[in-house]
Amino acid sequence: MPKLDCNSAGQYSYIEDWGITNTTKLHGVRCEYVFMRVGTKEDPDPLRKPDNKQEVFAHGDFADFIKPIFDTLDLYHNQGVDPRAIAIAFKNLAENHPEAELEIVAMEKRGDDKILLRAKTAVGSDKSQLSAEYFDDYNQLKALSQSQQLLLVEKSDRIRNLENMITTALGQPKSYTQGDTIMVQENPITINAGRDNSGVINLGQIKGNVVNTIQQLPDSPSAEQPGIKELLTQLQEAISESSDLPETDKADALLQVEALAEAAKNPQESTKQKTAKNAITMLKGLFSGLPAIASLVEATNKLLPAIAKLFGLG
C-alpha cells in the first residue's frame, strides 16, 4: 500500500511505494521537503529530498520534481536482451519516422535481464504502429550473427553509444515502473554520463567513473596472479593511453570496461556473465580495425581472454 504521512503544516511526506498516475493531481500542492522511504528507528529521515537539509522546495517545485513523463513510447524487452539489436532498431525507427521526434528519456532495468526504453514522441504519434515496426525490426536483427550486426554498426557512433548505455543500464541496480503508474525510484539511470549538455564527450569524466568502479573491486590475494581488479586496471590504462583509438571509440571502450567492472562484483551470476560477454564482444569489435602491431591490440589480446576466463567464459 502507498505510504503517505504529512506533518500538521502539510510540509513533508513519506512517499515510499507512492504510485503516481496521469490522474494524480499535484497542482497547488505545498511541500517543503519529502522522504523517499518510510522512517525507521535506526533511520528516521531516510532519503530526504532536497538532499541538502538546509534547502526546501520552492512553491511549485515539488510537483515538478515528482511529475513523470507520460507521453512516451515504451519499448519493453523481456527475453534475451540484445543491446546492439536494440540500438540499431531504435536508430532505424527514428530515421524512418523523423516526424515522431523520438528521443530516449529513460532506461529502466527490470528483473535480472529485462529492460524498458522510454522514448518521448511528438504529439499525435501512432505509438502502436511505432512499437510494432520497432519490434519487427528488432527481432530480425537479433537473429543476425554478431559479425552481421557489426557491419551495420560500423561508423555509427549513435548506435555504439546507445548500445553502451543499454549494456551499462543492464549492470545497474534494479529500477522499475508498474503498469501506467510510475513508482518512486531511489537510483534512476541517467543516459548522458560522460557528455556535457551539448553532447560533447567528457573523456576525463568517463575515465574517472571507470577508475572509481574498478577500485570498488577486491585486490587479488596473490601478487603473482592478477585478479579481475588488476586486469581491468591494465585494460583501462591501455585504452586511455592508446594513440590509435579516436576519442569516441576510446570513450565507448572505457564504458565497456566500466560494465565489466560492475559485472565483476558478482562474476558468477548468469546475468553478470551475459553483461561481461556483451562487453568483451563490443571491445573486440572496437579494436578489430586497429593495426595488428598496435600496442593496444597486443595488450588486449592477452587481457581479454584472461578476463573472460575469470567470468567463466573462457
Domain boundary among 45, 67, 89: 67
User: 110 or 297, which is more confident?
Assistant: 297
Same domain flag for 57 and 118: no
Same domain flag for 264 and 295: yes
Same domain flag for 219 and 304: yes
Give 35's pLDDT tier (boundaries 50, 70, 90). confident
pLDDT at 196 over 60: no
The one-letter amino acid code at 21 reads T
pLDDT of the residue at 294 = 83
pLDDT of the residue at 97 = 92
Q: Distance between CA 183 and CA 179 in Å, rounded?
A: 10
Is 207 in contact with 220 (CB distance < 8 Å)?
no
Same domain flag for 215 and 287: yes
pLDDT of the residue at 12 = 52
Q: Confirm whether 196 is domain-assigned.
A: no
Same domain flag for 229 and 270: yes
Cell (9 digits) for 185: 525510484
Is 82 in contact with 144 (CB distance < 8 Å)?
no
pLDDT at 72 over 60: yes
Same domain flag for 265 and 252: yes
Q: Confirm whether 54 is domain-assigned.
A: yes
Same domain flag for 79 and 137: yes
pLDDT at 7 over 70: no
pLDDT of the residue at 263 = 87
- What are the C-alpha distances in Å from 49 to residues 71, 179, 181? 25, 25, 21
Same domain flag for 222 and 293: yes
Number of domains the chain contains = 3
Number of C-beta neighbours around residue 297 at 10 A: 16
CB-based burial of residue 93 (10 Å sphere; 0-12 exposed, 13-18 middle, 19+ buried)? buried
List phi, psi (to 5°) of 219: -70, 155
Q: Confirm whether 163 is domain-assigned.
A: yes
pLDDT of the residue at 111 = 65
Q: Confirm whether 80 is domain-assigned.
A: yes
Q: Confirm whether 153 is domain-assigned.
A: yes
Sign of CA dihedral 198, 99, 169, 46: positive
Domain boundary among 154, 183, 212: 183
Same domain flag for 101 and 134: yes
Same domain flag for 176 and 209: no
Q: Confirm whether 189 is domain-assigned.
A: no
Q: Confirm whether 36 is domain-assigned.
A: yes
Record the pTM.
0.45
User: 159 or 229, which is more confident?
Assistant: 229
Give 313's pLDDT tier (boundaries 50, 70, 90). confident
- What are the C-alpha distances in Å from 305 to residues 155, 226, 272, 280? 26, 13, 17, 9
pLDDT at 123 over 90: no
Instruction: Find the domain containing 49 and state its range.
Output: 1-67
Mean pLDDT, the chain, as a whole number?
A: 75
Q: Distance between CA 232 and CA 45 in Å, rounded?
A: 38
Same domain flag for 63 and 79: no
Q: Confirm whether 174 is domain-assigned.
A: yes
pLDDT of the residue at 200 = 42
Same domain flag for 60 and 77: no
Q: List the Cα angle 309/310/312 in 5-degree steps.
A: 60
**Which secondary structure element, helix H or strand E, spans residue 152, and what is its range?**
helix 146-153
Cell (9 digits) for 42: 535506526
Domain boundary among 67, 91, 117: 67
